[in-house]
Structures are given as C-alpha cells and as structure tokens.
Structure 1
Amino acid sequence: MSASLPSPSPPTVVPSTAAQTVGFLRQLGAEQIGHPGGTLLAHLCRVYRLLAAWDARPALRLAGLCHAAYGTDGFPTALLTLDRRAELARVIGSEAEEIVHVYAAMDRKATYPGLATPNAPFHDRFIGGARAMTRGHREDLAELTAANELDLARINPVFREQWGPDLLALFTRFRPLLSAQAWEETETLLGRRDGRGH
C-alpha cells in the first residue's frame, strides 16, 4: 500500500462564491454537456443545493458543485485535466479541490465495499494503486456520493427504479459516515418503495 492520502489542508485562498464558481463551470462548457436530468451544470448545481440543505460545510458544498471537474468513475467526461488542479483550487479553495480530486480518483467498485470500514484501502484509478484514507475523507466521499446519486434518483424515475435498491443497500452500508440529513433523504427517496417502508 502506498502513502496515505494527506489530511485536508487549510484553504490557501478565500474560496469564491458559488455564483462565481458557476460562472467558471460555464466557461468550461458544463452547460453544454448532456447529463441525466438535463445538463451537467444543472446536475452540479442541484448537488450543491442538496449539500447545502444537509448543512455541509462550505468546502464540501463547493466540492459538490465541481465534483465532476476531472471526470469520475461513473461519468468520464472531464472539464479540466489533472495538470490544471491549481486552477480549480484558485476558484474553490484547496480543501474543496482536494475533495474533488479524491472523488474523481476513486475506483468505486473497489473502494465502496470498504468505505465505512476503518483502515480499508482507497483505490485510486488515476495511479492504479491503493492507499489509506482518513475518517474525514471517508465521510466526505460518502456524503458527496449520496448527494450525487440521490439527485439522479430524485430527478429521474427510471434511474430510481433501476438503481434504487442497489443505492439503498450502498447507503445503508455508508450510514455510519452519512449525516443525519443525508440518511433521512435516503430513507425518504429510496426506503419506502412499497409505500410501507422497510
């Protein structure tokens, strides 16, 4: 196993407002990229609003707004190449950018099963290796994953019907890492599929 992921570093700049970040995403073409439920930009904005509704800290909200900047394991289209990380950090702050990078690097199939297990490795698809993760990173990844997937489940009934049971099982495993608000949203959206609850 390679070196651990560094602990989140304090922002080196004052992060921009969400509105300025949205302007930056528009410049990168996020409004022209199709995504389930509309455009990529619309999805990113909904994820930001969901995290805000869950009282996520500002860095995590901004990370949610930019979570697909480098592409992800589930959405390969990237707005920025990895050699432009400093550019994104100047816009949203280094802490938020680090969350975006870790989220983008995550090999989901390999990482998700152990995400809520202390000392389980994080599998990095960019470098093809595994490393340790802090509890804080695990919580950020779980919360961001929930916001991302629950937005799609809320906006797209076909997606919810197809993936709802799998997402409920996944977030049930993540529950120790999720905020109370994220878990409540999970139960509301996915946990009462037959009208009687589980």
Structure 2
Amino acid sequence: MDDRTAAALDLLAGRGAEEIAHPGGTLLAHLQRVHAMLERWRVRPAVRLAGLCHAFYGTDGFATALGETSRRAELVACIGEEAENLVYFYASCDRASSYPELARGGPFRDRFSGERSDPPPAARRDFAELTVANELDLVEINPEFRERYGPGLRDLFTSWDALLGDAARHAVRTVLP
C-alpha cells in the first residue's frame, strides 16, 4: 500500500467512515471496494485515490459528508491535487442535469455552486469510470439496489460506452447483462 492510500484510509477512519451505514455495509467498506475495483481495472493512481475518497464531500446520491468543500486543502494534502479535484468533481455532480449528456459533451452542473461547465474529455472519462465503479459495487453487494436501479444503470452506462476503458465496459456487461 502506498503512502497516499494509507493516509487516505487514516483520514477516512478518523472521520468516522467505518461507522457510517451505507448500502452493503459501512461507508469505509464501500470506499475500499470501489478503490479495489479501480485498481483491478488498472486506472491511474489519482483515479484510484479518488475512488477511495469519492464520498468525502457527500454526493448527489449520498448526502453524508466527511469533510467540507470550504476546506479542500485538507484532502489535497492527503491524496494530492489531481485526485482531490476528481473527488470534488464527482461530489459536485448534479446527476439529473449532468448524467444524460455526459458522453455527448453536454454541460456539467455543479450542485454546490449551480454553475455549468464543459469538462474536457479526460475529466469526463475519469468521472465515468469512477461512477461506474461506485454503482457496480452497490449492484454487486446489495440485491435490493440491483433490482431497483440495475436496469437504469445498465442503460446509462451503455450510453457512456465511449468514455469507458475496456475493463469498465467489460464489468458493465458482466455485472449488468
């Protein structure tokens, strides 16, 4: 385990992630599974670290935050600027507004500020892979989640096909046939 991963795990544990209920167990267990999935997919270290910390500021689908967006430097010091930028990007996503047009280059809406932006293709790819890993973990670990959201996620992720690497595309087809 590298130093940044160890530091991130310490920070998450220190913020109570192992005591926060999450579909399929605790938040910390979920974050670790997402990190492991991204590692199996051989994504860049910054994306793996973002996967480990993706819920740090809460998300549009999970409101509990471990840190405040006004204090982003704390997470930057732990996981680095590139990974933290992706954590913020992920957390800030207004899903209803941003998901449908993500692969077509549509605008991205920041749920914290309300601002719209046009992220570059590389940011969209990182975001898509992180999102797929997050949701596939929930589908694999929680039968109720799978039943309720699986078909919609399959359709969404299929529409993002061009943004996903081979491993993520294969996982979508395997987990959500």
Normalised by the size of structure 1, how large is the TM-score? 0.87
Structure 1 runs of 4+ aligned residues shifted over 6 Å read: none
Residues 1:37 and 2:24 aligned together: yes
Q: Deviations over 1:136-161 (max 9, x none)?
A: 11001100000000000000111111
1:138-177 matches, within 5 Å, as 138-177=124-163
The letter of the residue matching 1:175 is: D
Tell me, yes or no, if structure 1 residue 121 matches structure 2 residue 107: yes
Conserved 8 A contact 1:16-1:92? no
Q: State the distance in 1 between where 2:117 and 2:129 align.
A: 20
Q: Which of 57, 67, 71 is the matching residue for 2:54?
A: 67
Are 1:88 and 2:75 counterparts? yes
Once the two structures are TM-superposed, the CA of residue 19 in structure 1 deviates from its matched residue by 2.3
Instruction: Give the Cα–Cα distance (whole angstroms) in 2 for the partners of residues 97 and 136 of structure 1.
Output: 15
- Largest Rg, 1 or 2: 1
Is contact 1:88–1:97 with CA below 8 Å preserved after alignment?
yes
* Aligned partner letter, 1:169: D
State the AA in 2 paired with 1:159.
Answer: F
Of 99, 108, 114, the residue aligned with 2:95 is 108
Give the alignment's TM-score, normalised by structure 2: 0.97
What are structure 1's unaligned runs of at least 5 residues? 1-14, 192-198
Distance in 2 of aligned mates of 1:110 and 1:21: 30
Instruction: Name which structure has the greater RCO, CA cutoff 8 Å, separation 6+.
Output: 1
Partner of 1:22: 9
Larger helix share, 1 or 2: 2
Cα-to-partner distance string for 1:5-28 (whole Å, 9 max, x where unaligned): xxxxxxxxxx83312211110001
